[in-house]
Chain A
Amino acid sequence: MSSVPRTRPHVHHLAPLRRALSSCGLVPSSMPSAGGLGRADDAAVRPASLVGDAVLSSFPCGPPVGCPEALGFLDGIQRHQIVAYDGPSPLVLGWVAAGVLLRTGRELKPTMAGTAQLAIGRETVLAKAADALHGFEVLPLEPPDDLHPAHDLDVARGMVDRRRAQLEEEIGQRFRATSSAWLLIDGSLSHSTAWSQDPRMLGIAKSHAILPFDGRALTTYLQLPEGCRTSLFRPATRGGRETFSWGLRLREWMGKDPFHGLVRIEAAPTEETRRRASEYSQWILAERSPLSAPDVRWDRQLYGMRAVERYLGAILGE
């Protein structure tokens, strides 16, 4: 059921494209590629509501136990770069990829992947560059508030980010159409209706830019001991779907920082999730090894997720 793309984009072979853009009348630029800067969440506290418990508490999950069934890892990556200017307006290229590695036995195997190449700029820029942009999805920049070119780049980055999320969702759906295996998703499930209701998906959020608590509860949340999880809660989402979530401490944090080894798990808001939250946590604790180092986020990045990223990186020609 492999549906891994055969023809691959290449983020590093841009010289021919730059020449083509130059003949379209644009000025080529070779600003270094903005690697996966990630998603720009603004740090904030958005209080969540507890599910069941009256106060946020912590529970030992039990020893790590590997998921007894086949387990998929789904992740996506994105890259973008300014390749030319028309006057002050940049032409931004973006590449996104998403895929699933499925683990059966102890082997991770690529089972599904998709990519997209985006060309983003103001209408005028895109019109001028049209001849050089075969094979790109051409996305006009939403009408800007001001003329500052740096702003164009921010907006473009946001578009690339959304396209990646969209591609991840597509891949997730394609995977689900052919397999009922458990699937771990890098990040939140709340932006997809399908995901937020899938009984065999777990979202693993490594980012803590949005914190679900303040005050005493936050202290409990951030001082969660190794191998423990919090009570279940419903994260506050701005327009997102409801999920059940809980904090899980993968590694001893004392002497490091309160976020060390802390992840937030999301699952469908069901009775089953309430019942099995500790069991799911045990699975994820088992994923601490092999260590995902040299990934800088090795304290909370799962080896399987990193493997997906590397695989996607290779597809994009990195």
Chain B
Amino acid sequence: MKQQAPIPPIGRVVATEQKPSTPHQFYFWTARSSPIGIGAIVRVDSDERVIHGVVTDGFAYSDLETPLDAVIGAEGDPAGLIDPTARSEIRLYLAAVLRHHPEEPLQPVPLGAVHLATDADVTVALRMDSFTDGEESTGIPVGVYAGGGLEAPVYLDADFLVGPEAAHLNITGVSGLATKTSAVEFLLTSIFQTFPTQKGSVAALCFNVKGPDLCFLDQAGSLEETDRNIYDRLGLVPEPFAAFQCYAPYKADGVNLNTLRTHPDLEGNTRPLVWGLRQVLDYAEVLLNRDDIDAKAGAFIDFLAERVVGQEFRDDSLRAKPFRVETFADLEEFFRAIFDWMEALNRGGEIWRTHHIATIRKVRNRLGNISTRSKGLVTDDGEVHDLPWGEFTDRAVYTVDVAGLDPLAQDLVFARVVSVLKEQLERRTLGVDHVIVFVDELNKYAPSDGPETYVRKMLLDLSERGRYLGLVLFSAQQFRSQVHRRVVGNAGTALFGRMDNDELTMGGYSTLSAAIKAKLATLPKGELMIRHPHFTQPIFVRFPRPAVLTGRDGVQRFPPSPDLPFPDAVARVLRGMDSTLSTEEIRDLVAGRRAEDVRRSLHATQRSRPDDPMAYFRACLGRAVVAESRDMRRGIPGVRSAPDPYA
């Protein structure tokens, strides 16, 4: 495999007793003017073997034995005469071995000539030949290796990025400079365009946790010439995501969406995310902190989920008419009936169907609390807008915008979305074979310390078992050391952007040379260090700006619509479905109605997407007027138990 380079060597291996070559590292010297730098990939040629390595450290020194000699030479005057002869100075580099050829017997690196890597060398050095050659290439372009005037494509192995061999990706680096979010956006583009057909379909689900970050993935951003060149070099087309949907809960008013993607031009694929009692009850565990939900409360929640909610429940002692609990409002009515029954029992009533009144009160408070803290996500009435479960499509991106939600509600969204993804992937009913879940600010959701939370357990489980199901976690954070060890540890691929110096002193980075750390601490935007199972050493690459609109530019080009007064907000939603409708007409129709009724009718119309939205809405509203009153807070007795953190 020895490559005959037409270009002369740029260095030569040196090995001395003090600085010997080993099978895993070697030193070489170069001329002072060589283009070698930290992270450069080089090839050593000798008669019997070829070795590829990556430069991890560099040294320069002169023949000066002690600084004193320089002082004496200059007669103590730094501003004195310039020496007529420049002191001889050497450039010595340390390189870590990437690959030997032949691989056996594994021997120290011989005293060969050192060449700058070519495209072909980069392929061999990073073992990319093993997965990019042939028909069934599983290479996913991640950027270009830029060294010595070269721009060689670097690929990740889909089998190790999306499973099943290994999976998950984590990216670390300081805010604003590390280009974490951008890198993930670019990588999704790359995956969607190059994911091998034989591996099936793939979709992405991004949790937007910060401002407008991931809300404009369907809009083209501005690229520079250099970015386009990299796309070209990688064989990718710089275009935004064609199949994109953004899901966001409502604000507390139930009509204005709680997202920054509310510009009228973007309404077509901006959808509400609204859950009801059923959706919440299954994940009640998320919200009731672990110590708090004792066995008794658990049993009562199970009872509600299995016997009461979503079905007819008869208890003649409570009331003659059967209960039909579909919503939080219905549930409240049901609790009310229990409390009334107990009160009627003349102070003696402490137990209902083996459940103690204190337990019942506790569960009621917690659940009531959920609907309060998650207002806008969780609806009191029955209208549910959910992700397109079972109908996920290949190469589609789903953003779930939770940036404006209370942390408790965020947890609920994470827990439920990931659990349903897992369930459906397990049963192969989701619609796609693989889903990449992107979680930014991972340190918030899977911190290294702090109490065990449901969300952290879930992320851990995802990072440990997800790859067998096709559920892949892409995550980002500023400080890797602040994230649960096993969550980042399970990521087969790790990216590092510009790093904070304090972070670099943490134990996790101790294998990196001082020079590599210095490089990481000053890494320019658009450059990353990569660890990937096929690469035996970390490698530096450059990637292009993502082809999508950044959040910041997005809100400038598509300024969010201001929150409207309730009737106008309703009108806006309906006009979005049928632009011929007049705002006046809708205002008149809504005037004097109760907000819940209007909301429910509106949500029902949105969900059904009827041909004639106005007629449908009017019909719903008509029914709503006669619906019985459901005032949730009617005369509920106070809770006597200990102070309640959720109250």
Binding site for B on A (CB under 8 A): 64, 66-67, 71, 103, 106-108, 286-291, 293-294, 298, 303-304, 307, 310
**Are A291 and B84 in contact (CB-based, < 8 A)?**
no
Which of chain B's residues has its CB closest to A306's CB? Answer: B63
Contacts of B87 in A (CB 8 A): 290, 303
- Once bound together, how far apart are the Cα atoms of A101 and B72, in whole Å? 24
Contact of B611 with A by CB under 8 A: no
Measured CA separation A294–B64 after assembly (Å): 8
Residue in chain B with minimal CB distance to A106: B86
Are B65 and A288 in touch, CB under 8 angstroms?
no
The 9 residue pairs across chains A and B that have the minimum distance between CB atoms: A66-B84, A291-B73, A289-B73, A106-B86, A293-B69, A294-B65, A291-B69, A290-B83, A289-B83
Q: Which residue of B lies closest to A288 (CB)?
A: B73
Closest to A68 in B: B84
Report yes or no: A106 in contact with B69, Cβ–Cβ below 8 A: no
CA gap between A91 and B297 in the complex, in Å: 102
- Find chain A residues with CB under 8 A from B70 CB: 290-291
Docked pose: A288 CA to B86 CA in angstroms = 13
* CB-defined contacts of A290 to chain B, threshold 8 Å: 64, 69-70, 73, 83, 85, 87
Closest residue of B by beta carbon distance from A287:
B84
Query: Any chain A CB within 8 A of the CB of B88?
Result: yes
User: Can you list 21 pairs linking A and B with CB atoms under 8 Å apart?
Assistant: A66-B82, A106-B82, A106-B83, A108-B85, A108-B86, A286-B81, A286-B84, A287-B84, A287-B85, A288-B73, A289-B75, A289-B80, A289-B83, A290-B64, A290-B69, A290-B73, A293-B69, A303-B85, A303-B87, A304-B85, A307-B85
Task: State in angstroms the CA–CA spacing of A288 and B72 once bound together.
Answer: 10
Nearest B residue (CB) for A101: B85
Which B residues touch A64, using CB under 8 A?
81
CB contacts (< 8 Å) of B81 on chain A: these are 64, 66, 286, 289
Chain A contacts for B514, CB-based, 8 A = none
Find chain A residues with CB under 8 A from B74 CB.
Answer: 289
In Å, the complex CA distance between A303 and B86 comes to 10
Chain A nearest CB, measured from B167 CB (Å): 54
Q: What number of B residues sit within 8 Å (CB to CB) of A?
A: 19
Give the A-binding residues of B (Cβ under 8 A): 63-66, 69-70, 72-75, 80-88
Instruction: Tell me, rounded to whole Å, the shortest Cβ–Cβ distance linking B201 to chain A.
Output: 63
A74 CB to closest chain B CB, in angstroms? Answer: 15
CA distance A310 to B90 in the complex (A): 14
Specify which chain A residues have a CB less than 8 angstroms from the CB of B88 in the assembled complex.
Answer: 108, 307
Expressed in whole angstroms, the minimum distance between the Cβ of B343 and any Cβ of chain A is 100
> Which B-chain residue is minimally distant from A294 (CB atoms)?
B65
Additional A-B contacts beyond A71-B84, A293-B69, A293-B72 (19; CB < 8 A): A67-B84, A103-B84, A106-B83, A106-B84, A107-B86, A108-B85, A287-B84, A287-B85, A288-B73, A289-B75, A289-B80, A290-B83, A290-B85, A291-B70, A291-B72, A291-B73, A298-B69, A303-B85, A307-B85
Chain A residues lying within 8 Å of B83, measured Cβ to Cβ, are 106, 289-290, 303
Residue numbers in A under 8 Å from B66 (CB-CB)? 293
Within the assembled complex, what's the spacing in Å between the Cα atoms of A293 and B87? 12
A205 vs chain B, min Cβ distance (A): 21
Q: Give the chain A neighbours of B84 by CB distance below 8 A.
A: 66-67, 71, 103, 106, 286-287
**Closest CB-CB distance, B17 to chain A, in whole Å?**
14
Q: Report the minimal beta-carbon distance from B119 to chain A, rounded to whole angstroms.
A: 33
Q: Which residues of B contact A291 (CB under 8 A)?
A: 69-70, 72-73
Interfacial chain B residues near A288, Cβ < 8 Å: 73
User: Which residue of the partner chain B has the closest CB to A283?
Assistant: B84
B85 contacts A106, C-beta separation under 8 Å: yes
Shortest Cβ gap from B77 to chain A (Å) = 10
B69 contacts across to A, CB distance below 8 A: 290-291, 293-294, 298
Which residue from chain A places its CB closest to the CB of B86 in the assembled complex? A106
Residue of A nearest to B80 (CB): A289
Q: Considering the chains assembled together, what is the distance between the CA atoms of A293 and B83 in angstroms?
A: 15
How far does the alpha carbon of A173 sit from the alpha carbon of B72 in the complex, in Å?
A: 36
A193 to chain B, nearest CB (A): 30
B73 touches A103 (CB 8 A): no
User: A103 to chain B: which residues have CB within 8 Å?
Assistant: 84-85
**Highest count of chain B CB atoms <10 Å: which of A66, A108, A287, A291:** A291
Closest A-chain residue to B32, C-beta based?
A: A107
Kindly report which residue of chain B lies nearest to residue A66, judged by CB atoms: B84
CB distance from A225 to the nearest CB of B (A): 15
Q: How many angstroms between the C-alpha atoms of A143 and B318 in the bound complex?
A: 136
B330 to chain A, nearest CB (A): 90
Complex alpha-carbon distance, A108 and B85, angstroms? 7
Residues of B within 8 A of A307 (CB): 85, 88
Q: In whole Å, how far is B61's beta carbon from the nearest beta carbon of chain A?
A: 14
Chain A residues near B82: list those with CB within 8 A: 66, 106
State A287–B85 Cα separation when bound (angstroms).
Answer: 8
* Closest residue of B by beta carbon distance from A107: B86
Determine the distance from Cα of A96 to Cα of B158 in the docked complex, in whole angstroms. 63
Residue of B74, B80, B86 with highest tally of chain A CB at under 10 A: B86
Q: A72–B136 Cα gap in the complex (Å)? A: 63
Which residues of the other chain, B, contact A106 by a CB distance below 8 angstroms?
A: 82-86
Report Cα–Cα, A95/B85, bound state, in Å. 29
List residues of chain A with CB within 8 A of the CB of B63.
Answer: 310
In the complex the two chains form, what is the Cα distance from A304 to B85 in whole Å? 7
In the complex, A291 Cα to B75 Cα: how many Å? 10
Q: How far is the CA of A288 from the CA of B80 in the complex (A)?
A: 12
Q: Which residues on B sit within 8 Å (CB–CB) of A303?
A: 83, 85, 87
In the complex, A93→B84 CA distance in Å? Answer: 38
CA of A57 to CA of B63, assembled, Å: 38
